[in-house]
């Protein structure tokens, strides 16, 4: 079946299909992918959306042209009661499925004609305001999530440094990875970074701040992979170095930890690629457990929260903090 670049059906195939249901579903995914590409959505977002629809199809054991509101209620009832997914996760799944359902049920795209010819029925929208979660407030995080206190943060950084020395003294492998992760935790806090912003940092992303030359070449961190809005490229921003110890941490890592590599990445993995969030998160959770700190309320994003919280506690201008934190509108 031919589908154009915007996801519209161009012509129906006259050839009898061996598995028409599966083929039609795959064609729908191809069309939906094209439609989302024309909206300039990221490939990862598109792939995750298609995966979400596939899971729904597998669970209800029905194809989109046979979906009903009962399927919606059954699926999300299980996700909430059995799998205990978070409210924000449920709402994200519902939003994705609602967009797909809108696409295949819109007559402009032609799937109603395809399904009527092949199956004697057609897709219709089954995700409504009355059977899906509403986005009633901007913040949906769990109340337990919080920033580190300054004492907790110092404990964490000291413990991370101690682990590097212990591993190095034992002669075991892993001291370099432990050193890298310790520096990553400190840099995350130093600039209030999201993990994706952190993992994409390169050695060329640091520059001198003419107004604060004491920080040397680490006076400004240029974040090139800031959080993007839907359909837009990553939003860049520059974050000034404000803590006296940050420049020394970066310089020591470049000189004694990272070494000379063929990549510009500031924190390459052992295999030379980008670090996975799970790698650093496992390290953080282990350190929190060893220190007796609560793992439920503290995570990688707590370092970003701590950055803004501590600057405000120290008397920094709230507008300045909001700007360099990447929350200016």
- Which of 195, 220, 201 lies closest to 268 in space, CA to CA? 201
- Copy the structure tokens of residue 170: 């034992």
- Which of 310, 307, 298, 313 lies closest to 326 in space, CA to CA? 307
237 bridge partner residues: 223
Residue span of the structural domain in which 269 resides: 150-324
Q: Say if residues 247 and 215 touch (Cβ distance below 8 Å).
A: yes
- pTM of model > 0.85: no
Phi/psi of residue 11, each to 5°? -160, 150
Mark whether 178 and 99 lie in a shared domain. no
Mark whether 127 and 197 lie in a shared domain. no
Mark whether 287 and 177 lie in a shared domain. yes
Phi/psi of residue 206, each to 5°? -120, 140
The number of folded domains in the chain is 2
Mark whether 49 and 160 lie in a shared domain. no
* Residue 312 covered by a domain: yes
Mark whether 36 and 76 lie in a shared domain. yes
Residues in the chain, total: 329
Per-residue pLDDT of 142-199, as tens digits, reads 667 899 999 999 999 999 999 999 999 998 888 999 999 999 999 999 999 999 999 9
Per-residue pLDDT of 59-113, as tens digits, reads 999 999 999 999 999 899 888 877 778 888 899 999 999 999 999 999 999 999 9
* Residue 141 covered by a domain: no
């Amino acid at each position: 079946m031919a589908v154009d670049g915007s996801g519209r059906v161009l012509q129906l195939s006259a050839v009898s299909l061996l598995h028409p249901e599966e083929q039609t579903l795959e064609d729908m995914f191809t069309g939906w992918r094209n439609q989302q590409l024309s909206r300039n959505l990221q490939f990862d977002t598109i792939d995750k959306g298609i995966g979400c629809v596939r899971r729904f199809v597998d669970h209800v054991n029905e194809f989109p042209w046979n979906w009903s509101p009962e399927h919606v209620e059954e699926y999300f009832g299980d996700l909430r009661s059995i799998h205990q997914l978070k409210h924000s996760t449920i709402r994200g799944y519902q939003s994705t499925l609602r967009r797909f359902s809108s696409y295949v049920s819109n007559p402009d795209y032609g799937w109603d004609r395809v399904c009527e010819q092949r199956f004697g029925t057609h897709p219709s929208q089954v995700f409504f305001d009355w059977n899906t979660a509403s986005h009633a407030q901007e913040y949906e995080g769990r109340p337990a999530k919080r920033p580190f206190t300054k004492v907790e943060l110092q404990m964490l950084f000291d413990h991370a440094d101690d682990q590097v020395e212990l591993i190095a003294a034992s002669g075991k492998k892993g001291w370099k990875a432990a050193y890298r992760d310790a520096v990553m935790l400190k840099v995350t806090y130093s600039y209030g970074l999201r993990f994706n912003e952190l993992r994409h940092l390169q050695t060329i992303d640091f520059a001198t701040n003419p107004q604060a030359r004491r920080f040397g070449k680490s006076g400004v961190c240029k974040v090139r992979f800031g959080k993007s809005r839907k359909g837009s490229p990553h939003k860049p921003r520059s974050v000034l170095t404000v803590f006296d110890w940050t420049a020394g941490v970066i310089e020591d890592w470049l000189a004694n930890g990272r070494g000379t590599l063929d990549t510009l990445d500031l924190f390459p993995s052992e295999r030379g690629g980008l670090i996975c969030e799970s790698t650093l998160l496992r390290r953080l959770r282990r350190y929190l457990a060893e220190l007796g700190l609560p793992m439920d309320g503290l995570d990688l994003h707590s370092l970003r929260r701590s950055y803004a919280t501590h600057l405000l506690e120290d008397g920094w201008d709230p507008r300045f903090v909001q700007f360099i934190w990447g929350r200016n509108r």
